[in-house]
Chain A
Amino acid sequence: MKSETAGGPASGRAFLTHTALLFKIAWRNIWLHRGKSLIIGIILLTGTVVMTVGNATITGMDKGLQKTLVDGLLGDLMVIAQSTDEAWALLGNMGKSADLIPDFEKVRDVVTNDPGIMKFLPMDFGMFMAVIQADSASGQPPFVVPLGVQYERYLEMFSNVAIVKGRGLRPGESGILLHHTTADRLFKTYGSIFSPVDDPYAFTNYLPPEAGSNLASVIISTDLIIVGISDKKATLDIRVPIIGIYSNQRIEFGGQGFDLIDIQSYRQGMNYTLGDEEVKLSASENAMLNMDENALFASFSENVSGAGAVLGDVKSLMVKKPAVKAVDYDRGGTEILALRLKDRRQAEEVRGRLTKAFKEKNLKAKVIDWRKAAGTLANMASVIRIALFVFVGFVFFVAGIVIVNTLAMATMERSSELGMMRAVGAQRGFLGEMLLTETFLLAVFFGGIGMVVGAVIVKILAAAQIQSTPGLLVLVFGGNVFNPLMGLKDFVQGGILLTLVTLLSVIYPARLAQSITPLDAVSRD
């Protein structure tokens, strides 16, 4: 017996010889049993295509969702009060409001000093109840869910407002932009048309279909009286003119949207600090705010026709002027500080820095990412991905079973031949390696084709520029067009999964093959 040399060219050659032999046998057997091979191959191919396309779809969705939300409302990061409920999210959990950020000025200073921050925007977001003369029999309280922002800065950061009627807020102006769904909802429930104060007759351009027949009886309101809903603090009634009606170009789903209000009005309504001092109301103002509702409505909600002047008077009388001179908007009560980063990819580092700085300065603020801020909405992609994994897992499970069965049967059928190989001098492991090589070749070949086919399908889908239908899909597509994405990561993942399936499904047949003894070469029958 020649001794086997360790290392060196001899062992290198031995390895090559061995591998070449395995591949040759495997390849020839695949070809000989091409029917079975094809069945296994097609199953592997199908699994891989489903996996590739599914993954790309979900990755594209997730990226789209991120882009939509980060660009459209949330910013890259958000700072909120530490005491804010864990379950709080700007989206998908509209009932809960965030706590005020304590020591907001100091928090703001930390943020402004961070080199990674490009822009920031204080926001307040919560529920208000509208004080409306309820004509309608519907018992639902008229809620509005306004986002309080400094409008011009909001536009700079999230350019997603399309004015449907009226106009946007001017700097320093107090007022509300109703989301068109809010306007519709209020009309449906209360029978009043809420119209912009500058252009109350424009409603005819935007008249809910229900109003069509009896225009004469329609009540037009150009402002709203709303009162903040808070379980922490006494809140105040405020009267805000309706400046416009808008639709959000990015974040509209499930027929819902939020209204935009100037942040100072929001702060007043929630009884927050305004950025200069606590608002002190005069006795008459207090009296007016505490008037009983019917009296209040008698003076406010009137048929607009011919009442323009009266309206102006009432307004000057009633609406507390919120915009105090020299207000520092970045000082007043703030629940949310949305951050836009210079480089989106550094979100985690910036977050770490800010968290550390808040801790060092003993500030009770925390930083959340867009995913957390988006609440249940952000999990949508994850949920769909899990569903896909379950499906792909199932496909591969079936594939595995078929492979195990086919290989096990083939092994049994070939036991004489395999036994002869053992008798002639093939080691026990050789038979297992033969099977593994066979399956491996099938997996590489058909899995490879599957990935290429998947990639082509993804390319075609991307090139097809599939338009989304309005609503949820726009949000998910991250725009109007479906854009599946596939990266190297998906290929690697696919490869790993395929390898795993191959290895797992070869274990049993390989063990079976290794249990074949040289005696099987000679056993009769």
Chain B
Amino acid sequence: MSNPILHLSGVTKDYWLGKVKVPALRGIDLEIGKGEFMSIKGPSGSGKTTLLNIIGLIDNATGGSVLLDGKDVTRETDKNMTRLRLTKIGFIFQTFNLIPVFNVIENVEFPLLLLKDRTPAERRRKTMELIDAVGLRPYVHHRPNELSGGQRQRVAIARALVTDPEIILADEPTANLDSVTGKSILEAMKEMNERRQTTFIFSTHDAGVLQYARRIVEIHDGLLTSRG
């Protein structure tokens, strides 16, 4: 790959359960290019979440290196990691995606407020643009508990995209949704990927979801068995 946005080499992750070492990742080498729409597939406990957390700078690798945009981010400070998450990475979690006391607009706008350097007009424009893109215009003043599961995930997609990150990570984003809603979420993600060239990496158990992926990476027991 000519210019990968992400480059993992020899990434390992060990968990410790008391004195017992649990090797969750055992040497992952992977390159991901700009604009990919990629899925990570594997049985339960194979290390999908662990891998996504490391890519997303939510967790530290035990060994190996992660290059983001050619820069090694493995040993960054917490402050810098946080800043990278804010500016370069977007997250769509399975649950607990949104701030309960904020409505749709406020949730989508939240990362922009953390960025601090946008004017209110810029923020408003960007926020509304993304809310429109995920089709939630009629629900802007709803709080998360006043939205369906699928609507919440759409808010999460809009929120993840609002800072124009380079990568969006989603760990089983449809696990809590019915298959029809799940597919519509994938449609929305794919549309964003095509329109904005944002890289999407998601994990799933769901074959119906998997079919949207343009590249599928397989993981077993902490090792990649297929790079797609």
Contacts and interface: CB of A to CB of B under 8 A. Distances in A.
Given A417-B96, A417-B100, A421-B99, A522 B53 contact: yes
Contacts of A13: 116-117, 119
A228 interface: no
A406 B25 CA distance: 39
Contacts of B56: 423
B110 interface: yes
B58 interface: yes
Interface of A: 1-2, 4, 10, 13-14, 17-18, 21, 24-25, 28-29, 31-32, 416-417, 419-428, 430, 517-519, 521-522
Contact of B85 (A10, A18, A29, A424): A424
Contact of A422 (B82, B95, B100): B82
25 contacts: A1-B83, A4-B117, A13-B119, A14-B116, A31-B101, A416-B95, A417-B99, A420-B91, A420-B98, A420-B99, A421-B110, A423-B56, A424-B159, A425-B82, A425-B83, A425-B87, A426-B82, A427-B79, A428-B78, A430-B114, A518-B59, A519-B53, A522-B58, A522-B94, A522-B171
Contacts of A17: 113, 116
A1 B87 contact: yes
Interface in B82-135: 82-83, 85-88, 91, 93-102, 106, 110-111, 113-117, 119
Interface residues of B, number: 36
Contacts of A2: 115, 117
Contacts of A522: 49, 53, 58, 93-94, 171
Contacts of A14: 116-117
Contacts of B49: 522
Given A425-B163, A521-B93, A522-B53, 8 more contacts: A18-B113, A24-B106, A29-B101, A417-B100, A422-B82, A424-B111, A424-B159, A521-B96
Contact of B86 (A21, A29, A419, A425): A425
Contacts of B114: 21, 424-427, 430
Nearest to B88: A1
Tell me which of B94, B98, B116, B159 has the highest count of chain A C-beta atoms within 10 A of its own C-beta: B116
Contacts of B115: 2, 425
Interface of B: 49, 53, 56, 58-59, 78-79, 82-83, 85-88, 91, 93-102, 106, 110-111, 113-117, 119, 159, 163, 171
A446 to B, nearest CB: 20
A412 B133 CA distance: 35
Nearest to B97: A420
B57 to A, nearest CB: 8
A425 B111 contact: yes
Contacts of A423: 56, 58, 85, 91, 93
A28 B98 CA distance: 14
Contacts of A28: 101-102
A517 B171 CA distance: 17
Nearest to A1: B87
A518 to B, nearest CB: 4
B101 A25 contact: yes
Contacts of B163: 425
A175 B130 CA distance: 101
Contact of A416 (B58, B96, B101): B96
Contacts of B59: 518-519
Contacts of B93: 420, 423, 521-522
B164 to A, nearest CB: 11
B48 to A, nearest CB: 12
A117 B119 CA distance: 67
Contact of A424 (B78, B86, B94): B86
Nearest to A2: B117
B110 A424 contact: yes
A37 B116 CA distance: 29
Contacts of A416: 95-96
A312 B113 CA distance: 101
A328 B214 CA distance: 117
A39 to B, nearest CB: 19
B90 to A, nearest CB: 8
Nearest to B107: A424
Contacts of A18: 113, 116
Nearest to A20: B113
Task: With a 10 A CB-CB cut-off, give which of B56, B82, B83, B171 has the most chain A CB atoms.
Answer: B82
A434 to B, nearest CB: 11
Contacts of A430: 114
Contacts of B110: 421, 424
A4 to B, nearest CB: 7
A514 to B, nearest CB: 10
A423 B53 CA distance: 10
A447 B97 CA distance: 35
Contacts of B101: 25, 28-29, 31-32
Nearest to A29: B101
Nearest to A3: B117
A29 B159 CA distance: 21
